[in-house]
Structure 1
Amino acid sequence: MAARWKLLILALYLSLVMVLSETECPKGYRMEDKCVDEDECDVEDEDDPDVIGPCGENALCHNTMGSFKCQCLDGYRGLGAETSPTCKDINECAEDRGICGLNAICFNTIPHYSCICDDGFISTTGVERFRHGDNVTCQDTDECQEEKVCGQNATCINTPGSYLCVCNAGFGLKSGKSNFSGNQEQYICMIDKTICGNGTCHHGANGHYCACHAGFTNYGNKGSRCTALNCDVFKDMSILEEKLNSSHNLMMQLTKSCLDLTESENPTEVDGEELLKRLLSLIDNLLSRGAFKDKRKVSTFLNMVENILGFIGPFIKPPGTTRSSTHTEVGLRVHKGADLPQGAVTLSSNHVRLDIQLETAAGEPSKYPGFTTVSLLSYANLEDSADGFFSGMKRQADESFKINSKVVTATVSNRNTSHLKEPVKLTFNHLKQSNESNHTCVFWDSSENGGSWSARGCSVVESSPNYTVCSCNHLSSFAVLMALYEIKDNNNNVVLKLITQAGLSLSLICLFLCILTFSLIRSIKSPRTTIHLHLCISLFFATVIFLAGFSRTENRVGCAVVAGLLHFFFLAAFCWMCLEGIQLFRMVVLVFNANFKILYMMAGGYGVPAVIVAISALTNPKGYGTETYCWLNLEFIWSFFAPACVIIIVNVFFFLITVWKLAQKFSSLNPDLDNLQKIKAFTITAVAQLCLLGTMWIFGCFQFEDTIISSYLFTIFGSFQGVMLFVMHCLFSKQVREEYGNILSRFCAPGKKSYSNFSYSHTSKAHASKSTQDTGESRI
């Protein structure tokens, strides 16, 4: 019984526990049929809207399951637990002093901050206040844009956040300060002899002005210093009028504008841009017509460009201009103002760069005209005209020079550039890469024997295969360029010289024997041996002249005569070879009575080269003789190579036809084998002769590249050509060898053979060769 009551009491207790557990929920939950999350952040009260939530001020409440979290607002930082923080304002200006960037001030606010530009600066978007992240910066306000901010007698100079007013020339401040800003101060005009230079200072309604004396100008800027302007430099340009008549029109316009500036109190305004455009057009026309080929014309041309650039510069609006044309590139920088300019300026083109200090370009402060100009003009092909004039260069016997950069003209407004306080630097790009450090910086000196390149006052700062940096302490001749000189290998020179002397000496002996053979031995005389004779005579005289005067360049006239004679005799040798080819052709085609008359042969062998040389000398007398050798100038060399190439082509044509005709005759049923064999032998000899002389001048063409192999081959073939002609035409000829044998036997063993026998033999041989002479040939 007692056990039953215990079980009953336990059941009632468990039922009571179950009832109690269903009526109570955990913290953060409330009972709604069941326990649901309670939103602690929902504290809105319609009767009291200022009720603060569980997170307090300056924080946001975020509900979570059974609880909540607090987050401080932007601009605040929380201290304490997540459910009960204390949010305090963050001072961004103190924690990040550069948060507003340059030229701005940071102001802390609650809850954020504001950035305000400093005085003299304005935001890029125009807003007064901004914050980091708004992509706003503070830029300088140019107060000088405001009209007359400094008054009419002072110049405004903008500075970061402010500005300065500097008195114009002839004015100063009563306080003695050099500049002012803000408050307008009174000015005093200091009239003395130095303000206007070569002019008189006067008061006017707008301040002081300078009345320039005759021959001086301030380029229309009445407040500027008067400087000299020589208008005569635009008058004497007759030497260029031979090249282009349009140069006269530009010179007349420049002379008129110049005289107007120096003689009139109110000169007309000069259009600098238009004059610069016309100058570049004139240069294009001059350079497009080919090289000047005269150093006096080069000097006149460069002086003209210098004077015109110096005249145009002051009429170009600051900061300057850059132009390019077919044959030129020009950069011109202009600075105007009462103060002497300072700092470096760089002008560049595709081929050269100029670095110069503005103080150097302006000149002495006491003579400062109120403006500074710097110009750099690069020519596309002037190096072709100016190459070869190196009389002003000091060189050794084995040195030669060649321009390896574009020619440029550099001018400044400073008229005294004979010795600059600080040198200018020019960086030239090479026309041809060179791994050797053998470059020289030079300028065009018009006073050196009519014009020449000179290295005086210039030095190499740095040199590489691609460029050279030059430093020059003057711009007196205005043109600064770089010249390349090459020093030959002495060992190769010695060997080539020995080969030349030995070969030419031996060739002279052999050519002399050939001349004696073809002129004295009657049994072998024929039109063909006549051609051989004059070929050897031409080469003999060419060799003698070459040995005697090829390197004698001391006398320019004598050197030109030597070059002309070499031109004539070498062309004569080619003409006689051409006659030989034509003679063979006539022999094969016409067979009999195909000989040239001696008068026609002389006209072709000596008359044609005489006409070519005469026309060449009249057309370009300066083409004969160079600085190094008495031969044709490089640009004139085709007056020799062109006729030589034509002759070689004509001979090859005739020889091909001759061989073809010979093949036809050998294939016929009844050929005249004896005559054909002789013609065949002569053809082979003539072809070998043509190959000998033609090959020599082919290697001579490669001499322009100055390679060792071509130098040796050209020297060997040229030096021993007389020896080879003697071997081909005399030693390979059976008839000539027999005659040599008879002559030797007559002198060496006179007792073994009587004179009558020798005469009989000689007569029989002459009779036997009659048929040969009819065809114009001798035996080989």
Structure 2
Amino acid sequence: MKNCEESLQHHAMTVLNIDPTLANGHVEITAPKVSDEARTIQIWIPVEPFQNVSDGIVGIVTSNSIQQFITKNVSIMSEVIQIEVFGRDIANLTNPLIIHFSVNNYTNNSSKRYTYSCQYYDKQGNNTWKTDGCNTTQISDGVVECSCDHMTPFAVLLVEVNNIDGQQWEILSYISYVGCSLSAVFSAFSVLTFIFNRNARAEVSSSIHVSLSSALFLLNMSFMFSEWAATWTVKEVCVFTAVTIHYSLLCSFTWMAVEALHLYLLLGRVFNIYIKHYMVKLSLIGWGVPAVLVGCLLSIQQLTRPFYGYKNVTLSNSNATNLVCWITEPLILYGVNLCYFTIVFLFNTIVLITVSRQIFKLKKVDNKHKKIPVKDASTVLGFMCLLGTSWGLVFLGSGYTSYPILYVFCISNTMQGFSIFLWMCRTTRPEKQKAAHTKSLSSVDTFTTEKQKQ
């Protein structure tokens, strides 16, 4: 391994010619120092990019002048290390690049909490610091290990902690897995009930309920496999899991919107609806729109940096990370999902308010019901479950970590499949009981189905 070293006032550079036949996975070197008083930075460069190539030249530049890397609200706590292979962009490494940074100590003089974060400077994008493909491990008070799957400028930044405490994460994980397991089981029961119950198959609402249950079943199952898939060395498994979670999540949101649309047409329009191939059109919306959206994102991913894959969740009390399979690009995560759900949530909320007012208005007209009965209140709660109102809690927890909201959000949404199963058991009644419940939603659906047959 040959090297030549050049030092300037605020920069030091080393050029290496790496021979992969002489190394065992990684080549360990010490980063060039800007001055004799500079801190030592150890680097382990993977030999993977230099196998089967004639030229293994790599340049390493240490910078203690960070003015060119400063962006808004950024605190750089170490030197900036730039690692580049001349004429090539190195990314998606199987064996990661490892750097041991010596970091500045900081004093917390406010109520906010901070932590170290390994990030890279995106020169090819919008010149900002990003965390994609980098893991952070604090080895000691003054040393942070950065493990990254690409070669770019790196540094350790001080970031505000908005993440979940490690112990809280473990409790929320248990709740999520138990809730998702129950939700998946009862979602499967809903599908089986629909298949083997002739009365359920005759109702349009039941078809919509079972479609939402199917989307939730796919979401719960893929979510439970997220952490397990992240442990695989085969990256495609994690990407497939992340895509499945995203697709099933969008399908769940879409079918909640379909539930709201159907509910409005049934009650808001006083049952006067007839749409040819109604369920087929709803299915094209419920399953097709998310498929088109995810397909477009996958096409864009081929042209840009991958944004489906390994995602690190930082645990605030230990600076440790938990690896999951999800969307790695914040712009996609919030720009697509949050905007999509916001539209669905606003539409569903408007429909829920409209339908609830009409239900209570009809009860006030009836002299026998001067007060709002418990049954009507439970009907509105059932509609809230079908329309996914509890997902709106995401807006209350935006920007900070509120554990009460997290617990309510986690419990209510992971049990949505179970709630829909109970709703279907309540509304799908035997033929002998239907005459006594002509004002129920199942009777309305039977009326609609018979009219479509005519």
> Structure 1-normalised TM-score?
0.36
C-alpha deviation, 1:595, in angstroms? 4.8
**2:197 match:** 521
**2:93 match:** none
Deviations 1:99-132 (A, max 9, x none): xxxxxxxxxxxxxxxxxxxxxxxxxxxxxxxxxx
Deviations 1:719-771 (A, max 9, x none): 322222223332xx2x53x54xxxxxxxxxxxxxxxxxxxx959989999776
Does residue 498 (structure 1) correspond to residue 174 (structure 2)? The answer is: yes
Instruction: Determine if contact 1:560/1:625 at 8 Å carries over to the other structure.
Output: yes
Output the CA distance in 1 between the equivalents of 2:108 and 2:299.
33
Percent identity, aligned pairs only, is 17
Output the CA distance in 2 between the equivalents of 1:679 and 1:576.
24
5+ residue gaps, structure 1: 1-227, 230-309, 314-319, 321-330, 334-353, 362-372, 385-403, 412-422, 445-450, 471-475, 671-677, 740-759
Does the C-alpha gap of structure 1 residues 680 and 589 become closer, same or farther in structure 2, counting only changes over 3 Å? farther
Does residue 626 (structure 1) correspond to residue 310 (structure 2)? The answer is: yes
C-alpha deviation, 1:528, in angstroms? 1.4
Instruction: Determine if contact 1:410/1:480 at 8 Å carries over to the other structure.
Output: yes
**1:582 match:** 261
Output the CA distance in 2 between the equivalents of 1:454 and 1:684.
43
Instruction: Determine if contact 1:584/1:683 at 8 Å carries over to the other structure.
Output: no
Asked which structure has the greater RCO (Cα within 8 Å, sep 6+), the reply is 2
Aligned partner of 1:380 among 70, 77, 83 = 70
Instruction: Determine if contact 1:523/1:765 at 8 Å carries over to the other structure.
Output: no
The residue type equivalent to 1:651 in the other structure is: N
Deviations 1:503-545 (A, max 9, x none): 2222222222222233332224322111111011111121122
Output the CA distance in 2 between the equivalents of 1:537 and 1:424.
48
Instruction: Determine if contact 2:204/2:445 at 8 Å carries over to the other structure.
Output: no
SS at structure 1 position matched to 2:80: strand
Does residue 606 (structure 1) correspond to residue 294 (structure 2)? The answer is: no
Output the CA distance in 2 between the equivalents of 1:428 and 1:455.
16
Instruction: Determine if contact 2:256/2:388 at 8 Å carries over to the other structure.
Output: no
Higher helix share: 2
Does the C-alpha gap of structure 1 residues 430 and 515 become closer, same or farther in structure 2, counting only changes over 3 Å? farther
C-alpha deviation, 1:617, in angstroms? 2.2
Instruction: Determine if contact 1:376/1:410 at 8 Å carries over to the other structure.
Output: no
Output the CA distance in 2 between the equivalents of 1:641 and 1:682.
28
SS at structure 2 position matched to 1:631: strand
Does residue 534 (structure 1) correspond to residue 211 (structure 2)? The answer is: yes
Does the C-alpha gap of structure 1 residues 495 and 666 become closer, same or farther in structure 2, counting only changes over 3 Å? closer
SS at structure 2 position matched to 1:625: strand
Deviations 1:478-502 (A, max 9, x none): 7543477999766544433432332
Deviations 1:572-629 (A, max 9, x none): 1111111121112222343344155112101111111111211222234622122411
1:458-469 mapped onto 2 (5 Å cutoff):
none
Aligned length: 344
Deviations 1:404-444 (A, max 9, x none): 74675379xxxxxxxxxxx9976476999798897588999
Does the C-alpha gap of structure 1 residues 427 and 681 become closer, same or farther in structure 2, counting only changes over 3 Å? closer
The residue type equivalent to 1:548 in the other structure is: F
C-alpha deviation, 1:717, in angstroms? 2.1
Does residue 571 (structure 1) correspond to residue 250 (structure 2)? The answer is: yes
Output the CA distance in 2 between the equivalents of 1:651 and 1:493.
30
Does residue 649 (structure 1) correspond to residue 350 (structure 2)? The answer is: no
C-alpha deviation, 1:711, in angstroms? 3.9
1:677-716 mapped onto 2 (5 Å cutoff):
685-695=382-392, 697-698=394-395, 702=398, 705-716=400-411
Does the C-alpha gap of structure 1 residues 459 and 563 become closer, same or farther in structure 2, counting only changes over 3 Å? closer
Instruction: Determine if contact 1:696/1:718 at 8 Å carries over to the other structure.
Output: no
C-alpha deviation, 1:651, in angstroms? 1.3
SS at structure 2 position matched to 1:630: strand
Output the CA distance in 1 between the equivalents of 2:422 and 2:37.
74
C-alpha deviation, 1:643, in angstroms? 0.7
Instruction: Determine if contact 1:439/1:484 at 8 Å carries over to the other structure.
Output: yes
Instruction: Determine if contact 1:528/1:776 at 8 Å carries over to the other structure.
Output: no
**2:53 match:** none
Does the C-alpha gap of structure 1 residues 522 and 442 become closer, same or farther in structure 2, counting only changes over 3 Å? closer
5+ residue gaps, structure 2: 13-32, 41-61, 83-99, 122-131, 146-150, 312-322, 368-374
Does residue 551 (structure 1) correspond to residue 228 (structure 2)? The answer is: yes
Does residue 616 (structure 1) correspond to residue 297 (structure 2)? The answer is: yes
Output the CA distance in 2 between the equivalents of 1:599 and 1:460.
60
**1:774 match:** 447
Output the CA distance in 2 between the equivalents of 1:431 and 1:614.
45
Output the CA distance in 1 between the equivalents of 2:217 and 2:279.
21
Output the CA distance in 1 between the equivalents of 2:191 and 2:351.
26
C-alpha deviation, 1:709, in angstroms? 3.3
1:321-336 mapped onto 2 (5 Å cutoff):
none
C-alpha deviation, 1:356, in angstroms? 3.7
Instruction: Determine if contact 1:549/1:562 at 8 Å carries over to the other structure.
Output: yes
The residue type equivalent to 1:629 in the other structure is: V
Deviations 1:325-369 (A, max 9, x none): xxxxxx789xxxxxxxxxxxxxxxxxxxx99448999xxxxxxxx
Output the CA distance in 2 between the equivalents of 1:535 and 1:409.
49
Instruction: Determine if contact 2:309/2:327 at 8 Å carries over to the other structure.
Output: yes
C-alpha deviation, 1:693, in angstroms? 4.2
**2:333 match:** 637
Instruction: Determine if contact 1:578/1:651 at 8 Å carries over to the other structure.
Output: yes
Query: Which has more radius of gyration?
Result: 1
Output the CA distance in 2 between the equivalents of 1:479 and 1:648.
40
Instruction: Determine if contact 2:242/2:326 at 8 Å carries over to the other structure.
Output: yes
The CA RMSD over aligned residues, in Å, is 5.3
Does the C-alpha gap of structure 1 residues 497 and 585 become closer, same or farther in structure 2, counting only changes over 3 Å? closer
1:240-639 mapped onto 2 (5 Å cutoff):
356-357=35-36, 376-378=65-67, 379-381=69-71, 405=76, 409=80, 427=104, 439=116, 479-482=154-157, 491-524=167-200, 525-553=202-230, 554=232, 555-596=234-275, 597-620=278-301, 622-627=306-311, 628-633=323-328, 635=330, 636-638=332-334, 639=336
Instruction: Determine if contact 1:625/1:632 at 8 Å carries over to the other structure.
Output: yes
Does the C-alpha gap of structure 1 residues 526 and 595 become closer, same or farther in structure 2, counting only changes over 3 Å? farther
C-alpha deviation, 1:453, in angstroms? 5.7
Instruction: Determine if contact 2:229/2:324 at 8 Å carries over to the other structure.
Output: yes
